[in-house]
Amino acid sequence: MALERTTCSRCGGSGEYSFNMKDGSRCYGCNGKGTKLTKRGAVAMQHLVHSMEVSFEQVQLGDKVGIKVMGGIWWVTVNELESSSDTYTIGGLRLNGEQYAHTGRGSDARFKRVLVEGERAQLIEAAEQFQATLTKQGKPRK
Ligand SMILES: [Zn+2]
């Protein structure tokens, strides 16, 4: 079992579509993979991503967390945590020894957490089991 995917209808599974200078002929429907998640698969993927993250409230000083920065993830060992009613600041040392701090708004920020050995496989399995409880439309089966 795996997260449910279907052939990309835009490129018919080839992963290639009309050519442009920036991305070549990579299909935007599937990012060149040729397949994409079904509705059910996408909901299970959200579940999986969520299970690999922590909320701001769960982060403690000394934790290693990944902060999403412009399309990438910067890992820091947290040494700064501050929040007010509508903003939060999280900061820490990056792998290269540089201090990095991120300030954001809202209370729903989430950060990548370090997974222990074998945990990824367990979380994927849990997401697959969750997927099996969903209808084709990605809703909980009654
Ligand atoms: Zn495609």
pLDDT for residue 1 is more than 70: no
Q: What digits encode the pLDDT tens for the residues 84-135?
A: 988 999 999 999 999 999 999 987 899 999 999 999 999 999 999 999 999 9
- Ranges of each domain in the chain: 5-51+118-132, 54-113
What is the pLDDT, as a whole number, of residue 107?
73
What is the pLDDT, as a whole number, of residue 69?
87
**Spacing, Cα 22 to ligand 1 middle (Å):** 17
Q: What digits encode the pLDDT tens for the residues 10-52?
A: 999 999 999 999 999 999 999 999 999 999 999 999 999 999 9
The size of the chain, in residues, is 142
What is the pLDDT, as a whole number, of residue 70?
84
**Spacing, Cα 87 to ligand 1 middle (Å):** 39
Q: What digits encode the pLDDT tens for the residues 66-77?
A: 999 888 999 999
**Spacing, Cα 59 to ligand 1 middle (Å):** 38
- pLDDT confidence of 63, banded at 50, 70, 90? very high
**Spacing, Cα 8 to ligand 1 middle (Å):** 5
What is the pLDDT, as a whole number, of residue 85?
87
**Spacing, Cα 24 to ligand 1 middle (Å):** 13
**Spacing, Cα 25 to ligand 1 middle (Å):** 10
Contact 33, 16 (CB under 8 A): no
- pLDDT confidence of 80, banded at 50, 70, 90? very high
127 burial (CB, 10 Å; 0-12 / 13-18 / 19+) is buried
What is the pLDDT, as a whole number, of residue 89?
96
Strands lying side by side in the sheet with 72-83: 53-55, 110-113, 64-69, 72-83, 87-94, 99-105
